[in-house]
């Protein structure tokens, strides 16, 4: 396990981590979970990472960390659901110093997208794959022939005068008590806009609602094939570990 990478999925409510077997694209040991501290500043989160890694003393490979924000060259540039102190923080440098490990930070949707393309629903598919997570908002990852185009943030496209995720995210469906049919019309509008802009070869749909994909994916009227994600809750941890290994 010594050189196996470690993936950490850092979210608004929980911080989950596990060593990852990159041959299998799966956890190499049972994952551990900590609550995200109420004041989730970079320093307080770094301390939890130290405690988390201490539970896996035999795992000494690189560490990948997902962050719910835009990440450019290890620096966090947005913080929608975490402490505003993250903005402008060189998270790679901070976490590397705090943990004494080689740490690489990546946007959470980008990590999930990488994992789905390498190990999940889009494994073996060439061309442009757009992975979208339908949850509180809409996360997105664009992967072209296995290469990540980072920070696409396609949930924030302006469509018909609205931020796309405000009408098409799963939270909008539950908030407005939409039928699957009504929501599917909004999703069709959203994905057709992505088709017009990017002409992708495949859409992959993740997020918790992907478990119910049979209820809405067949209702979408698109030219592009669209399929549910496979890795579900494992995607962030696995993708982060993969990203750290290939960024080292």
Residues 62 and 85 in one domain: yes
C-alpha span between 76 and 88 (Å, rounded): 6
The whole domain housing 195 covers 124-230
Tell me, yes or no, whether 215 lies in a domain. yes
Give the per-residue pLDDT at 1.
56
pLDDT in tens, 3-45: 899 999 998 889 999 999 999 999 999 999 999 998 999 999 9
Tell me, yes or no, whether 162 lies in a domain. yes
C-alpha span between 213 and 160 (Å, rounded): 25
Per-chain mean pLDDT for the chain: 96
Tokens 């749909």, residue? Answer: 205
Tell me, yes or no, whether 224 lies in a domain. yes
Give the per-residue pLDDT at 206.
96
How far, CA to CA in Å, does 134 sit from each of 14, 68, 183, 195, 248? Answer: 18, 14, 12, 17, 30
Tell me, yes or no, whether 118 lies in a domain. no
What's the burial of 23, exposed, middle or buried (CB within 10 Å: 0-12/13-18/19+)?
A: exposed
Give the per-residue pLDDT at 198.
98
Question: Taking the CB of residue 31, how many other CB atoms lie within 10 A of it?
Answer: 18
Residues 242 and 221 in one domain: no
Tell me, yes or no, whether 119 lies in a domain. no
Residues 83 and 45 in one domain: yes
Residues paired with residue 133 on neighbouring β-strands, in sequence order: 139, 206
Tell me how many domains the chain contains. Answer: 2
Give the per-residue pLDDT at 248.
73
Residues 88 and 139 in one domain: no
Residues 54 and 130 in one domain: no
Tell me, yes or no, whether 200 lies in a domain. yes
Give the per-residue pLDDT at 205.
98
Give the per-residue pLDDT at 13.
87
Residues 170 and 216 in one domain: yes
pLDDT in tens, 83-94: 899 999 999 999
Give the per-residue pLDDT at 3.
84
Residues 77 and 26 in one domain: yes
Residues 138 and 99 in one domain: no
Give the per-residue pLDDT at 172.
97
Which residue positions in the chain have pLDDT lower than 50?
A: none
Q: What CATH number does the domain containing 196 carry?
A: 3.30.420.40
Are 140 and 207 within 8 A, CB to CB? no
For a pLDDT cut of 90, what percent of the chain falls above it? 94
Tell me, yes or no, whether 116 lies in a domain. no
Residues 135 and 225 in one domain: yes
Angle, CA of 27, 16 and 119, to the nearest 5°: 35
Query: Residue 204: CA atoms inside 13 Å, Cβ hemisphere, count?
Result: 29
Would you list the DSSP string of 2-37?
Answer: TT--EEEEE-SSEEEEEEEETTTTEESS--EEEEPP
Residues 85 and 132 in one domain: no
Tell me, yes or no, whether 164 lies in a domain. yes
Bin 55: left if φ > 0, else alpha if -120 < ψ < 50, else beta: alpha
């Amino acid at each position: 396990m010594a050189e196996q990478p470690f993936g950490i999925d850092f979210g608004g409510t929980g911080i989950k981590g596990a060593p990852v077997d990159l041959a299998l694209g799966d956890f190499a040991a049972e994952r551990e979970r900590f609550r995200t501290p109420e004041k989730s500043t970079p320093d307080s989160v770094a301390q939890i990472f130290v405690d988390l890694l201490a539970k896996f003393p035999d795992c000494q490979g690189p560490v990948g960390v997902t962050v719910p924000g835009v990440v450019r060259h290890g620096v966090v540039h947005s913080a929608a659901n975490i402490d505003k102190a993250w903005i402008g923080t060189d998270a790679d440098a901070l976490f590397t110093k705090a943990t004494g490990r080689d740490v690489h930070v990546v946007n959470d949707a980008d990590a999930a997208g990488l994992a789905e393309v390498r190990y999940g629903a889009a494994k073996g598919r060439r061309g442009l794959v757009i992975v979208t997570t339908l949850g509180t908002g809409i996360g997105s990852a664009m992967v072209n022939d296995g290469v990540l185009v980072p920070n696409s943030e396609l949930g924030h496209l302006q469509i018909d005068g609205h931020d796309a995720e405000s009408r098409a995210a799963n939270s909008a469906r539950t908030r407005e008590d939409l039928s699957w049919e009504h929501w599917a019309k909004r999703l069709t509008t959203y994905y057709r806009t992505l088709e017009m802009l990017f002409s992708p070869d495949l859409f992959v749909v993740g997020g918790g609602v992907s478990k119910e994909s049979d209820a809405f994916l067949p209702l979408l009227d698109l030219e592009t094939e669209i399929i549910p994600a496979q890795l579900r809750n494992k995607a962030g941890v696995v993708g982060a570990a993969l990203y750290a290994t290939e960024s080292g």
